[in-house]
Every structure is written in structure tokens, then in C-alpha cells.
Structure 1
Amino acid sequence: MEAVETRMATLDFQPARGPSAWTGQGMRDSRQWIYELDDEDRADVASALSHVRTRGLTIPFGKEDFPLGRFAVRMARILAEVETGAGVVLMRGLAVDEYGLEGTRLVYWGLGVHMGTALAQTPFGDLLVDVRDTGGDQYRNPTQRGFHTARRLPFHNDQGDVVGLLCYRRSKSGGLSCIASAAAVHNEILRTRPDLLEVLYQPFYCDARGEEPPGRPPYYVEPRFSMLDGRLFTQHGRTYVDSAQRFPDVPRLTAHQDEAMRYVDELCASDTFRLDMDFRRGDIQFLNNRVVLHSRTDFEDYEEPELKRLLMRLWLRTPGYGAIPAYFHERFQDMDHWLKHPLERKPKAQAA
């Protein structure tokens, strides 16, 4: 971590530039981030699914096993928009009713491998996880992760270059997806509170939630913002910073650190920077995990198990992203460890 910290200390803060520095109002006005599948797109996807089913393939399978025809070109454009454009695409109109639950998993995986390499998301080596309420509470249980709760999730980002969420079933009410451009928020802090931006470029201690590999401390050390080769990188999640305070060897949060994180959350939640999405069945949201923060409102679910809210998540490493700061490599090493040495899931534990 020393190389990272030295680089942060000598950095001359500059605004993040490019289309990823958007405002909520600008995105609401443009709607160019929504990609509506047409009949030809759906036909290409259905053909690829048939190809997988005919051969009896299961997850994981490769890009060549899911031939998308003409739609492969459009998927490449979607990836380019996520990597180097606004960092946000909402794909709308997958025929999930026709695919069924397991067919939807196959389709989602197939689309994902056309964008990049799937990463393990849990110590059990799960590459495609279900996002559903299992009664957890990450605010009370420091080993609980947010995708197992119905409670509100504060603004944060995940791991990997791209995070994808597919909506298979909506909740009874609530569960709104809210996103914000970390690049635009960064620039606003530079403009209004450069003293706090300096704090955010310094190391923060983040709880590993009991998922660290053997020999690693139970926390990570990362700045909230960093810049490499003119590109902004973000790693934010207030809940994980707060729960890391349970470890006696973690330095106590300073008043400036607390204020800086609160300011990030305040800006993200404001009408100026926040963009809300009300997922429909068959939507896929793809986000650039380096420059887009996301949150979710709390939700009320159905009582019937077959109606309960169900999203599916992918973390992807994409081919064109380029160099990343050194501290991100530690996270990739951990995800690689989870994949190569997965823990055995206890019989009564629910799949992540």
C-alpha cells in the first residue's frame, strides 16, 4: 500500500473529464442511456439460448458458446458506452417470461461474457448471485452484505470494472435503484470543498466482512478517490468504513473523514446528481463500477416465495479498461482466491 499512499500524497487534484461526469437532470433529459431491445435483438438472444440448451451447457460457458449474431455488435457498443461513455446503460425488453428462471440465468450469463470475464463475488466462488432479501441487516450485523437485505442501501460501488443487475421479479413496493456519477460528485467537491477532497484521496479502512482470504487482515485500506493516467477511480461505501471501526488496530475516524464521506453521500442523494431507475421485469442495468455509485431504497416484498423480488448480479472484468491503481489488485487477488479455493457452503445456508 505504500506506493499507493505516496502517489496520493503527491497528486495535483484535477477535475474528472469526459462523458462520465454527468448530472441527474442531464441524464433524465437525454434518455440515451436506455437501450430498448427490438424483435431482431430478441431473436438473436433466443437463438443463442437455443444453442446453449441444445448442447446441454451450464454456467460457466464461454462467449463462443453464446453466438449473438448481429446483436454481438450492439453488445460491443453497449460495453464501449459503459467503459468510456457515461458509464450507464439500461437494457430493456429481455423476454424473461419466455426464457423461464433458469433460461434467464443462461441468457444473462451469455450476455455478460460478451462484455468481459465474470468475477467471484463471494468466498464460495459464486460468479452469478441472486440479490434477494433473506432477512439480513447489514447495519446490525457487520458480517452481513447488502444484497441479502430489504433495507435501504447507501451509495456505494461494488468490485470489478462493471456491475450488472438483471431484474427477474420486482418487489411489491419500493426498491428504487438510484445512481450518481462519482466523477461529477468529485468535481463538485473540488469546486466547493477542496479540503474535503484532499481527505478523500487519503487511505480509509474498510471492513472485509469476514471474507478476507487466509493471512489477510480483516479490512482493506483504500482511498475514496484516486486518479491514474488521467482517469478517476472511486471506491466508496460508508457502511464498510463504519463497521471497520470494530477492529482495535484500525485508526479512529477523524471528524474530517466523517464530514467528507457525509458530503459525498449528500451530493449523491441530491436531485442535481441522482438518477433514479424503477426496474421493470427483464431490465439489465450495466454500470461502470469505477465512476458510478449506486444505492437502493428499502422495499416491501411479497409473502409468497414465488413472487418475491429477485435480481441477478454479475461482476465483470472488462478487456478495454486499462491500468488500475495498485490497491485494486488486492481485491482482484481476493476474488481470484475465492474462485480457485471456494469455501464449502453449509447445507442450510442459502445461495448468495
Structure 2
Amino acid sequence: MELPPGPIGGQAAWVGADMAQRTDWIETFSATERAEIDAAIAEHKAAGREMGEITPETFRLPTLAPRLTRILGDIQHGRGFALLRGFDVASRPIEDSAIGYLGIGAHLGGFRSQNAKGHLLGHVKDLGLDIRNPKVRYYQTNRELEFHTDSCDIVGLICLKTAKSGGGSRIVSSVAIHDRMLAESPELWRALFNPMPTDRRGEIPPGMLPWFEIPVFNWHKGDLSTIYSGQYIRSAQENFPQARRLTPVEHAALDRLDELAAEMSLEMEFRPGDMQFIHNHQLLHSRTDFEDWPEPERRRHLLRLWLAPRQARELPPVYAQRYGDITPGNRGGIVVKDTVLRFTLEPA
């Protein structure tokens, strides 16, 4: 097991209280860029293309594309996230909003499946499902989400409608958490480099166990990559007696990671049309619980993308358990037996 030689630092090791005083992570579209997006949506529809045919070449953004390349660099090699603001969703049908969002996302990376149903365009919405069902994902409820990563390089969200109250997005630098844990408790820090059984929540690729075992912290070729879902690490302990039992030190390390994530995080409120893109390998994300509107047409609704940039960091071989192929541009996502890749405009 290779370990970092010491604190990592750098632009990625930020603390939420400091980041909250900055605005350089908010990227507002100019009038010219908004017009380009509108024209690209119209061209896509006029050509009769399917959503799956959206690529940087078909969704042309002459002025915005170079800016998106720079933003992608900030996400992958800088602070790890960006908020894109100024896209109008209020006056568009959901199909047009989805096309615009997919078009911008395509300039950042290829689309990856987000669940066993093969959804390439995810819907984050309270569907009134029972979280006690082991196949229900927390994003399908109104409950607070613990800090976690998703199974892809970059995760994107666009806000279509906000909740009556709550539902704030929280992000935190896993690099900063790593450095803090190294400084305050080397024993707990070291425990997070041990492989941890993590529940797949019923989404099991052929030939795989119902859980995967990857360390939370992974040091590989000069990069710290973090993969974490405390809820599913703990549910693996409850649901799978065959999975390795965590030690008291490992449990304490997870508890401390959760505490630091809450303490060091940045919370942002989404406005309709806001697009958030984050680098999963160096950030954890969560959401506060929320109260929704009683009217179905007003209820909180976000669309989600999982993206694989063609140029990306090399991941350690152990990630193949979760990502399948770990080749940049062709990795991440969830594919099980009989999965059919598709786009849908309805939550399901």
C-alpha cells in the first residue's frame, strides 16, 4: 500500500469557510454564450437528433467551448468544482433544458450510466420511496444525504425547481480532510487506506459480489483519489455477514471523517438554472434534508450527469471493482446484466 509522503495541500485543499468568501467559482454565462446555447438547442431539434447523439461536435459552442475547457481544468486540477449560472429553465420545456444541459456536459466528458436501469440523465427528486428498501437510493427521498462520492470522474447537477425549504448542496475537499486527519490522528488517517466493504445497493455487475472493497483514500502516481459512502460501508456491515468486519479504529476513522466533512464544508443554495460540476476524486458532496411543495408541478427537481473526461487522472487498479474499465473517457457508471443505456425525461 503506497501512502502520501505528507500533507498534500494545493488549490484542492480548501476549507468551506474560506471558499464562502470567494466568488471565483461562480461562472455566469454572458449574453453571447446564452445565445450560443439557444442556437445549439434549436439546431439539435431541427436536425431531429436523439439526446444520445449530443457531442461537442454536434452541440457547437464557438465562444463558450474554450471557456468550458478552462473550467474543466479548474475542476480536475484546481479547486475541484464550479457553479455555472445564467441558463434559463423557467421559460423552457424540460426537454429543451435537458438538451442544453447535456450539450454543456458533453464538452466536459462522456455520459455514464447512473443506475442499473441505464439512465444517462438522472433525476434527483423525492419519489416517496421507503429508504429501508435496500435497493432505494437516498437521492430518491427528501432525506439529508451524508457526504459521499459518486461512481464517476465528474458529477453534474442542474436545478430545475427548488424545494419549499432546505435541500442545500454541500461540498467539501477530501484533500483538506486528508491533511487534517494526518495532522491530528495518524492512526485514524492510516485506517482510511484500508479496503472497506461497501454495499452496492443491489446494483451488482456480472461476476461481482454485492459489495466492493476499495480504500477511502487512494494515493496513486502523485494524486489522492477518494471514494466514499459511509452509509453504504455501514450497511455492508449490517447486510453482509461474509464481508470483512471493520475494526474499532476503522469505525472511529469513518466517524471522524464524517465530522470533519460537516465542519469543513461549503454550502450553496441552487437557483433555477444553476449547474454544478464537481470532481469526485477530490470532493465529497451531500445535501440537507428538505420540505417540498404540496403541488406536484412545483416540487424540487434536479437533473444529474455522470461524466468521464477523455483526459483524466490515472486511477489505481483497485477502482476496477466499482468503475469496471478504468481507462480515462471510458470508465465509471453502473452497468449490470440487461442494462440498456437510455435517456428519460421522467423520474423513475
Q: Is the 8 A contact 2:150 2:280 kept in 1?
A: yes
Q: Deviations over 1:145-181 (max 9, x none)?
A: 1210100101111111100010000011110111110
Normalised TM-score (structure 1): 0.91
Q: Which amino acid aligns with 1:342?
A: T
- For structure 2, the 5+ residue unaligned runs are 326-331
- Are 1:134 and 2:127 counterparts? yes
Q: What is the CA-CA distance between 1:99 and the residue it aligns to? A: 2.8
AA at the equivalent of 2:286:
S
Which of residues 60, 78, 87 is equivalent to 2:71? 78
2:280 is matched with: 289
Paired residue for 1:69, among 62, 73, 88? 62
CA distance in 1, matches of 2:58, 2:43: 7
Amino acid at match of 1:104: S
Q: Percent identical across equivalent pairs?
A: 39
Deviation at residue 218 of structure 1 after TM alignment:
0.3
Q: What SS does the aligned partner of 2:52 have?
A: coil
Greater mean deviation of Cα atoms: 331-340 or 191-200? 331-340
Match of 2:311 among 320, 323, 326: 320
Check whether the contact 2:114–2:334 (CA below 8 A) recurs between aligned residues: no
CA shift at 1:338, angstroms? 2.1
Answer yes or no: is the 8 Å Cα contact 2:174–2:226 preserved in 1: yes
Structure-2 change in CA distance of 1:16 and 1:142 (3 Å): farther
Which deviates more, 249-258 or 164-173?
Answer: 249-258
- Between the two proteins, the alignment pairs up a number of residues equal to 337
Aligned-partner Cα distance in 1 for 2:253–2:16: 21
Check the 8 A contact 1:210/1:218 in 2, yes or no: yes
Of 93-102 and 149-158, the range deviating more from structure 2: 93-102
Match of residue 111 from structure 1:
104
Amino acid at match of 1:210: G
Query: Aligned partners of 1:99, 1:339: CA distance in 2, in Å?
Result: 34
Change (3 A) 1:327 1:84: same
1:37, distance to aligned residue in structure 2 (A): 1.2
| Contact 1:88–1:286, Cα closer than 8 Å, also in 2 | yes
Displacement of 1:63 in angstroms is 1.8
The whole-number CA distance in structure 2 between the counterparts of 1:19 and 1:33 is: 12
Q: Please, which of 225, 246, 249 is the counterpart of residue 253 of structure 1?
A: 246
The Cα shift of 1:136 comes to 2.5
Task: Confirm or deny: 8 A CA contact 1:83 1:320 kept in the other structure.
Answer: no
Mapped to 1, the partners of 2:86 and 2:341 lie a distance apart of 36
Q: Distance in 2 between matches of 1:322 and 1:155?
A: 22
Would you say 1:161 and 2:158 are equivalent positions?
no
CA offset at residue 117 of structure 1? Answer: 0.7
Amino acid at match of 1:117: G
Question: How many Å separate the matches in 1 of 2:31 and 2:341?
Answer: 42
* Equivalent residue, structure 1, for 2:8: 16
Instruction: Name the residue aligned to 2:323.
Output: 332
More helix by share: 1
Does 2:193 align with 1:196?
no
TM-score by length of structure 2 reads 0.92
Change beyond 3 A, Cα 1:250–1:291: same
CA distance in 2, matches of 1:269, 1:25: 11
**Of 339, 343, 348, which residue of structure 2 is paired with 1:342?**
339
Residue 295 of structure 2 is aligned to residue 304 of structure 1: yes
What is aligned with 1:124?
A: 117
Distance 1:75 1:311, change over 3 A: same
Unaligned stretches of 5+ residues in structure 1: 1-7
Q: Distance in 1 between matches of 2:146 and 2:6?
A: 26
Q: Secondary structure at the match of 2:21?
A: helix
With over 3 angstroms needed to count, the CA separation of the structure-2 counterparts of 1:170 and 1:12, relative to structure 1, is closer
Superposed CA deviations along residues 13-63 of structure 1, whole A, max 9, x for unmatched, are 422232111111221122110111121111111111111011111211222
Asked whether the equivalents of residues 87 and 292 of structure 1 are also in contact (C-alpha less than 8 Å), the reply is yes
Rounded Cα–Cα distance in structure 1 between residues aligned with 2:6 and 2:74? 23
Deviation at 1:96, TM superposition (A): 1.2
Q: Structure 1 residues 223 and 177, CA, compared in 2 at 3 Å: closer, same or farther?
A: same
Pick closer, same or farther for the CA change 1:111–1:12 going to 2, 3 Å.
closer
- 1:225 matches 2:222: no
Query: Separation in 2 of the partners of 1:216 and 1:340?
Result: 11
Distance 2:341 2:176 in 1: 42
- CA distance in 2 between counterparts of 1:71 and 1:85 reads 20
Q: How far off its partner does 1:320 sit?
A: 2.1
What residue is the counterpart of 1:95 in the other structure? 88
Match of 1:275 in 2: 266
- Name the aligned partner's letter for residue 123 of structure 1: A
Change (3 A) 1:74 1:203: same
Q: Secondary structure at the match of 1:221?
A: strand
Give SS of 1:64's match: coil
Give the Å deviation of 1:331.
2.1
Offset, 1:257: 1.2
The residue type equivalent to 2:70 in the other structure is R
| CA shift for structure 1 position 336 | 6.6
Q: Specify the alignment match of 1:264 in structure 2.
A: 257
Q: Report how far residue 252 of structure 1 moved.
A: 2.0
